[in-house]
Structure 1
Amino acid sequence: MDYCSDLSFVNYGYAEASSVSACGRRFEDYYGIQFLYHGRMYAHTGDHPDEFADGPCVFITFPGVPFYYGAPAGQVRSQAHICFSGERAVRYCNEELLTLRETALFRRLADPDAFFHTMQRLFQLLKVPGSVPHARAVLLLEELLLQIQEQPVVPDKIYTRYMDDLLALRDRIAMEPLLPWNFQKEARKMNLSYVHFRRIFKQTTSWPPGGFLLECRLRQAEKLLMSTHARISEIAQTCGFNDAYHFSRIFKKHSGHSPAEFRKLYGNR
């Protein structure tokens, strides 16, 4: 099996209570996921000023610029890393699965324990020779990169105070998009003005709340078109659209097909 032969793992490891620092380190021809699990850390590239973060968080190292990072003087940190190279890694960059930044280095993680568990599974696979374990390790690497990409870029203050509530709300909307959601009410639950709530919801999910709800309802409409024989007007009503024509227009913009075309292509026969 050579499906994943276009990626090589350079090195990996986990250092607990480490005070080791990197000064002008260059990652020639390879990339790295640097995961700060516990502790405080500084990092910067080139002549940029130091950035500081408390774990858990992650940053990416890459070729072409010198990196400086470590724990502040007198402190230690726990840090895991996985480094890799090859044509597939370059493709990750070109296709924006791997984002390279010389500033604003650190990214928060919504579920750092799950991230660390995935890294540990990857480390175990790298100890086993053979093409199949290697391919599975590549898949886990891509899972890690996806987890990083889906993390919102928000200020620490917002992350600390509101992130759990916002992500929980996002998941509730996705699970029950047909409920009569009132985002003014959701904002009041968090003691936020609606304007502020809308702004940080978009920072967290990349969607304004109304747009996110619309997307979830359209996905529910897709499921109903594929799995039921209900009339399109009934599906429109069920999914919160009072006008079937308006529903059809929005649905076509969303999927590239009218509801009738979508059902013909993908519905149960």
Structure 2
Amino acid sequence: MKQFRQYFTFASNNTADTLGINVLNLGHNIHPVNKPYPDIQHPDSYYFEWEKGRSLKEYQIIYISKGEGYFESNGLPPQLIESGTIILLYPGIWHRFRPKEETGWEEYWVGFSGAYAKYLLEQECFNPQNPIIKVGFNTEFLETFSRFIALAEVQEASYLKLSSFLLIQLLGIVYTSVLLSNQKKSRKEEIIDQIRNEIHRKWNNHIDFEELAKRNNLSYVWFRKTFKEVLGTSPNQYHLLLKLRKAEQIIQDSNLTLSEVAYQCGFESEFYFSRIFKKKMNYNPSEIRKKNMSHPEF
């Protein structure tokens, strides 16, 4: 896949300010392996050198959906960042982060300010000195970000106000994730979370779930039943939906043919990929490309 960066800045927004929240910028990037970070396309006002780090004048949510890396901040020792991690940045707090050279990473981010944002992020469950939140693969989070980017591309008359509503939705997901992470998980949930993370790491590979259960010292019957109990779907269906969501994102963010996307996402053929995509997502994958062509980037 090509290196990809999509970055939007938002104009001053009095309507959104009345909601107590103001979206400042938004972006998505797939940073490839063995490349310096940040890359040369990084916005000048946010570029930083690793040795110096940086601090911001705004809040930012950064979601690492794929890959691994490192994060450091005032009062916080170096942290390993895995896929499925949110980094919550506060104004005036020094920090630095980068992906591992051997993995690269995929990142989404949004910068914002406002009284409501300040109120929410000063709640007891949040800690500016410990801004790492592990949420795993969160389809709702990714879908909201995708809608956010699509809205910024089109810039319809109401996009500034709608962008604030989408940001509030993202913050709600983050807030809920923090509250849930503070609750003690059952042993069942811990086991399924561990296996779900492995599925996410190997999302475009064939996964033998019976073998996966065996490697984790579980019977397949217990594993399948418990997986569905915890996540509401079977392991196979979860893995399939994961691949389809990733395929949708690749189609949006690249010029790969549908055949290349199908291969990259582990499907046996373009025909099977298109058929199962239509069945599960209720629209054809080719419609994504047509929509993008009708709304070119600005």
Q: Verify the 8 A CA contact 2:63 2:84 in the aligned structure 1.
A: yes
Evaluate the alpha carbon distance shift between residue 49 and residue 125 of structure 1 in structure 2; reply closer, same or farther with a 3 A threshold.
Answer: same
Match of 2:162, SS state, is helix
**Structure 2 unaligned blocks of 5 or more:** 1-12, 39-47, 196-221, 224-229, 231-298
Aligned letter for 1:118? T
1:12 is matched with which residue? 26
2:56 is matched with which residue? 27
2:152 is matched with which residue? 126
Cα offsets for 1:24-80 (capped at 9, x unmatched): 22111x111100010002112025311113102211011121111111244311111
Decide which structure has the larger Cα Rg and report it: 1
RMSD over aligned CA atoms reads 3.5
Q: 2:105 & 2:59 partners in 1: Cα distance? A: 21
* Correspondence list, 1:56-71, <5 A: 56-71=84-99
Match of 1:59, SS state, is strand
Evaluate the alpha carbon distance shift between residue 160 and residue 73 of structure 1 in structure 2; reply closer, same or farther with a 3 A threshold.
Answer: farther
User: How far did residue 2 of structure 1 move?
Assistant: 5.4
User: How far did residue 160 of structure 1 move?
Assistant: 5.6
Q: Does 1:99 align with 2:126?
A: yes
Match of 2:65, SS state, is strand
1:161 is matched with which residue? 191
Aligned letter for 1:64? G
Q: 1:139 & 1:32 partners in 2: Cα distance? A: 16
Q: Does 1:141 align with 2:167?
A: yes
Q: Verify the 8 A CA contact 1:97 1:145 in the aligned structure 2.
A: no
**Structure 1 unaligned blocks of 5 or more:** 166-188, 191-200, 202-269
Q: 1:63 & 1:150 partners in 2: Cα distance? A: 22
Q: 2:103 & 2:79 partners in 1: Cα distance? A: 16
Q: Verify the 8 A CA contact 1:25 1:66 in the aligned structure 2.
A: yes
Cα offsets for 1:178-228 (capped at 9, x unmatched): xxxxxxxxxxx78xxxxxxxxxx9xxxxxxxxxxxxxxxxxxxxxxxxxxx
Q: Does 1:48 align with 2:83?
A: no
2:140 to 95, 114, 119: 114
Q: 1:153 & 1:39 partners in 2: Cα distance? A: 22
Q: 1:63 & 1:98 partners in 2: Cα distance? A: 18
Evaluate the alpha carbon distance shift between residue 90 and residue 35 of structure 1 in structure 2; reply closer, same or farther with a 3 A threshold.
Answer: same
Aligned letter for 1:4? A
Q: 2:92 & 2:166 partners in 1: Cα distance? A: 26
Q: 1:98 & 1:136 partners in 2: Cα distance? A: 27
Match of 2:16, SS state, is coil
2:107 is matched with which residue? 79
Q: 1:161 & 1:53 partners in 2: Cα distance? A: 20
TM-score normalised to the size of structure 1? 0.52
Aligned letter for 1:123? I
TM-score normalised to the size of structure 2? 0.47
Match of 1:55, SS state, is coil
Evaluate the alpha carbon distance shift between residue 136 and residue 98 of structure 1 in structure 2; reply closer, same or farther with a 3 A threshold.
Answer: farther
Q: Verify the 8 A CA contact 2:23 2:167 in the aligned structure 1.
A: no
Aligned letter for 2:91? P
> Aligned residue pairs: how many?
165
Moved over 3 A (4+): 127-131, 162-165
1:245 is matched with which residue? none
Aligned letter for 2:78? D
Report % sequence identity.
Answer: 15
Q: 1:75 & 1:129 partners in 2: Cα distance? A: 34
Q: Verify the 8 A CA contact 2:27 2:110 in the aligned structure 1.
A: yes
Evaluate the alpha carbon distance shift between residue 97 and residue 133 of structure 1 in structure 2; reply closer, same or farther with a 3 A threshold.
Answer: farther
